[in-house]
Structures are given as structure tokens and as C-alpha cells.
Structure 1
Amino acid sequence: MLSNKQVIGYLFLLPLIIGVLVFSLYPIGEAFRISLYHHNGVRGVWAGLGNYAFILSDSSFWKALRNTIIMGVMGLGIGLPLSFIVASLINSIVRPGMSVLFKAIYFLPNVTSTIAASIVFLLLFYPTEKGVANTVLNLFGLKPLGWMSDPSYAKISVILMDTWHGVGYSVLIWLAGLQSISRDLYEAAEVDGARKLQQWLYITIPGMKPVIFFMVVMGTINAFKRFGEVYVIGGPDGNPGGSLFTLMLYVYRYGFYTYDFGKAAAASYVIFIIILLFTLLNFKAFKNKD
């Protein structure tokens, strides 16, 4: 039998439990059920694993997966090192007021919506000579580029926008990790004659291993969830030339253009499995062998 205190505790937890069941677990189960049907949102016809077979044989899905992975690798390769360098520089500031100021400056873009940031960058990267970016190139005698209209430059343009938009959040996470490393380790290393580079390699990097793991995992998940910016810039087809067509646009196309919610739900579960596999690979790569 439960005591009165335990009953009261469960009563306080009851709203949260109901919220998780209604808004998390039920949608997950319902989405899996719908993925087994040819479903238009109102009624469905049993399809079994037919939706999954269609998705895995659909060239558009593999194109979306390729674009998503390429943009994800580019985003992680640019955003994480850049934000770590910025965080290290802010962490080295002695005056507390100045460090708070720089934190606020770098975090400021993060509070803007993805839609607003995408529209601003569309204006900056306007594909003619009237765009700000091409105006700067003209000052140096360089030809204008089709930042958002040329498939060769569209991905990097979106990644630059994402880096600007999300670098502040990453900086705060890196800073929290850097400040958790005991200063005694650095002082002991200095006494032993270790140089700054050696301290960075043998103290900072190992000490930041859990934070690096978190940043890589969250960056991977966010890369597979990329939607808002590519939709605003490239539309539902991920233009130019389908270079911005991501997995989320693939799901959106079937869910809200053809109203084939069965295929959209199946695609969502396939994406979930892919994210799970990448997460397990990250766990294995960062596993502590000591």
C-alpha cells in the first residue's frame, strides 16, 4: 500500500504523466499505426510494410538523405570548431563584464526566428549584383555569385546562415564545459613546464569530451530536422535544382501536398531509425575506454 506522502507525490506528477502520454507517447504510437496504412488523414487502407518499401526504393528519399547528410557534415564541420574557438576566447577574458557582453552579442542571433533569419539572408545573398554579398565581391573586383540560385553555392549559403543563427547557443554550451575544468590542472601543468598547446591537447580536449559528445549528437539530430530555412529559401522542392531538398521536406511533401500521411509517417520512422543509428555510432566513438 502506498503511504499518504507517496499518493500526494503521484498526484503532483499526474498532470505531467498525462501530458507525456497524450502529447508524446500517443502521437508516436499513432504515427506508427498510420505508417502501416495508405492514409489520407481521415481513413486508411491497410498497406503493411508497403509504405516503407516504397520509401526505401524512392530515389527522391535517397536524394533528400544525401543532401541532409552533406549539409549536416558541413554544418558540424564549420559550426562546432568556430563556436569552440569563440568560447575559448571569451573564456580567456579576465574582466567579467566584458565576457557577459560578448556572450550576449553572440547569443543575440539565436533569439531571432529561423524564418526571419532566412528572409534576412535571402536579402544579403540576393543573386544579382544588388545583393549585399555580391556588392562586397564587386568591391574586390570579383564576379557576383548565385548564392541562393546556384546549386553549387546554395548549401554553403544555408550553412553560413545556420552558423550565424546558432553559434551563440553553441558558445554557451562550450563555455559551460570550459569553466567546469578545474584550474588546478592547468596550474599543475604550468609547474611541470607544459606549454599552452600541450595543456589544450591533454587537459582541455579530454575534459571537454562529454560536451563534445553532446554537441555532436545534438548537431546530428538538428541536421536531420532541418526544415524552416530550406523551406523559406528553396520552397517545398528544395530549389535551386533540389539541392536543398532535405528529409523533412520529403516528409512535408507527402504529408501536406499529396495528403499521403501513411508515407509521411513511414518516412518519419525511417528518419528516426537513421538518427538512432548515428547516435549509437557517436556513443561508440566517444565511449570511455579507460
Structure 2
Amino acid sequence: MVKKFLFNQKIAPYIFVLPFVLVFVVFFISPIFNTVVMSFESILPGQSKFIGIDNYKRLIGDEVFTKAVLNSIKYTIATLLLLIPIPMVLACIINSKIMVGREIFKSVFFLPALTSVVVAGTIFRLAFGEQASSLMNSFIGLFGFEPIKWLKSQTFGFVTLLILACWRWMGVNILYFLAGLKSIPEELYESAEIDGANAWQRFKAITIPQLKPTTVYVLTISIYGGLAMFTESYMLWAGNNSPQNIGLTIIGYLYRQGIEKNDMGYASAVGILLVTIAMVINLIQLKINGTFAREDSHE
């Protein structure tokens, strides 16, 4: 009876999907549901109390939370401006016929992604130290500049964070775009070349439109990655307390409230708001990019 049930063609697909569904419910749906419930509660060790939307009201007047949100949004926008067009262009260069040693370049660009973010953050913290002997201050000293307190300045601290992000994720996005370039028929470029189109015209009329699915994917995961950034900032400032909160992100603020201050109800409200912000931004950009419209047209 059991064997007949397991080998039933109508039931078998559901049996194969069941492990994923169980993992999804236990480790994704259930925590989200619990977080929503906790965001309406005041949670103390051993007890919880329903307080309605008080945690969300508290967020509105929280200046530190506002700064964390602005820091995360600014970081996300900056990484999008750097980590989409630059990897796309570099991928086109690496993929070109005149490129020599492309496998070496792909390996070199991807290597930072294999480095532990803990190690990378520590190295960057030392390299961008405020001492005159630190790597970056020694470098700018060659051009006559005075030492800079990189991680104590709003501007230079943000620049350091962006350099770390570009160093770490540039190669990953290059590989995404290289995979997208492999799917573009070579005949399109040959036809355009016969018609007299130069390299820029071919890039604008063929490469960019054909790479749109890859670009949308990279844009979507980059938005999530930017808003969810935490470990890089934590390691760069050797903790979650950067000067004047210049490196504080939404996740960093959630960690501060939930783990450091043990205010899980308030931290849950921060988490729910983060998920909402990320979802709304991604839905808007998918709508603008025509992803939903394309799906509707197939239907």
C-alpha cells in the first residue's frame, strides 16, 4: 500500500517537493509570522505584553533609526551606480575577441568574493587607519596630502565602505554579465558590423537590450544586498558603534536593539519595516523594467 502510494504518478511530484515546502515553512514563513507578532509586543526576559503599534510609533520619532535608514539607502544607491555599469563594461571587455588571458582576469576579479568578509573588513580597517603609517595614508602622502582619519569622517568613511563593496562584489557581477553575454547570438553583432555600426552603437543597440534580464536580476539582488549590509560595516568599525553612527545600517540598528539591548519587540518592528522597504523598492523597479508586464503578456 505504501509502495503504491509513493510510486503514484499524481502523488510523486508532491512527495519530491515536500522537503522544500517543509524547510520553507519552518525556516522562512514561521519566523516571519513570529516576527510580525513580536513587533506588536513588548518583550522582556520570560514575558511578553501586547502593545499594539507602539513599536512602530516609536520608529517614527527615532532619529538614530532614521539615520540608519538613510545610510542604508545611500549605500544601496551608490553600490547600484558602481556595481552595475562598471561590471557590465568590464564583462564586455573580457568577453571581446581581442582579450588575452580572460580566464586569468575572471579569476582575479572573482577572488575577493571568496575572501571571508571578516578578514576583508579587518584588512580594510588597518589599511584605512588614521595613522600616518597606514597603507592609504602612506599612499596619499606620496602626493603631498596630509593623513586622513578615514573611519571617523562621514564622507571618507562612506567612501571606504564603497571601496570595500566594489572590491568584494565587482567580480561576482562581472561573472553574471559574462553569463548573460554568452547567451547573445553572435550573428547579431556580425549583422550590425556589416551594416557599419561601430563598437559603441553595437553595445547600445544590442548588448544593453539583450542583457536586460541579467541586469534586472543583478539590480534585484543588489538592492537586497545593499539594504541588508551589516557585516562589512561591523568589521570595518570593529563593532556596531561607529563615530556618530556614520556606519550604522538598518541591520546594524536591528542588531543593536535586539541583541545588544535585548529589545526584541522593537527590533522585530525594525525588521518588518526593512522587509517592507526592500519589497516595495524591488516591486517598483520590476514594474518599471517591464518584468510584470512581460509575464502578463505571456498569460
> 1:92-103, aligned counterparts within 5 Å?
92-93=96-97, 98-103=101-106
Do the aligned residues in 1 keep the contact of 2:73 with 2:226 (CA within 8 Å)? yes
1:25 aligned residue: 29
Residue 150 of structure 1 is aligned with which of 144, 147, 153? 153
Range with bigger deviation, 227-236 or 26-35: 227-236
Range with bigger deviation, 3-12 or 244-253: 3-12
Distance 1:132 1:167, change over 3 A: same
Distance 1:75 1:16, change over 3 A: same
Task: Please give the secondary structure, in 2, of the residue aligned with 1:177.
Answer: helix
One-letter identity of the residue aligned with 2:57: A
Task: Please give the secondary structure, in 2, of the residue aligned with 1:6.
Answer: coil
Task: Please give the secondary structure, in 2, of the residue aligned with 1:44.
Answer: strand
- The sequence identity of aligned pairs, in percent, is 28
Do the aligned residues in 1 keep the contact of 2:125 with 2:237 (CA within 8 Å)? no
1:10 counterpart = 2:25: no
2:126 aligned residue: 123
Could you list the per-position Cα deviations for residues 238-264 of structure 1 after superposition, in whole angstroms to 9, with x for gaps in the alignment? 412211111011101110111111111
Between the aligned partners of 2:241 and 2:93, the Cα distance in structure 1 is 37
Residue 39 of structure 2 is aligned with which of 35, 40, 62? 35
Distance 1:118 1:14, change over 3 A: same
Do the aligned residues in 1 keep the contact of 2:140 with 2:146 (CA within 8 Å)? yes
Structure 2 length normalisation: TM-score? 0.90
Please list every run of 5 or more consecutive structure 2 residues that lacks an aligned counterpart in the other structure.
295-299
1:119 Cα deviation (Å)? 0.3
Do the aligned residues in 2 keep the contact of 1:35 with 1:264 (CA within 8 Å)? yes
Do the aligned residues in 2 keep the contact of 1:64 with 1:246 (CA within 8 Å)? yes
1:28 Cα deviation (Å)? 1.0
One-letter identity of the residue aligned with 1:207: Q
One-letter identity of the residue aligned with 2:88: F
1:194 aligned residue: 197
Between the aligned partners of 2:66 and 2:80, the Cα distance in structure 1 is 21
1:5 Cα deviation (Å)? 2.8
Please list every run of 5 or more consecutive structure 1 residues that lacks an aligned counterpart in the other structure.
none
2:237 aligned residue: 234
Across the aligned residues of Structure 1 and Structure 2, the Cα RMSD in angstroms comes to: 2.0
2:297 aligned residue: none
Distance 1:137 1:184, change over 3 A: same
Between the aligned partners of 1:252 and 1:130, the Cα distance in structure 2 is 33
Aligned residues: 289
Structure 1 length normalisation: TM-score? 0.93
Between the aligned partners of 1:93 and 1:103, the Cα distance in structure 2 is 15
Between the aligned partners of 1:20 and 1:120, the Cα distance in structure 2 is 36
1:57 aligned residue: 61
1:40 Cα deviation (Å)? 3.0
Distance 1:41 1:72, change over 3 A: farther
Between the aligned partners of 2:84 and 2:13, the Cα distance in structure 1 is 42
One-letter identity of the residue aligned with 1:89: I
1:156 Cα deviation (Å)? 0.8
1:67 aligned residue: 71
One-letter identity of the residue aligned with 2:194: V
One-letter identity of the residue aligned with 1:50: D
Do the aligned residues in 2 keep the contact of 1:154 with 1:240 (CA within 8 Å)? no
1:170 counterpart = 2:173: yes
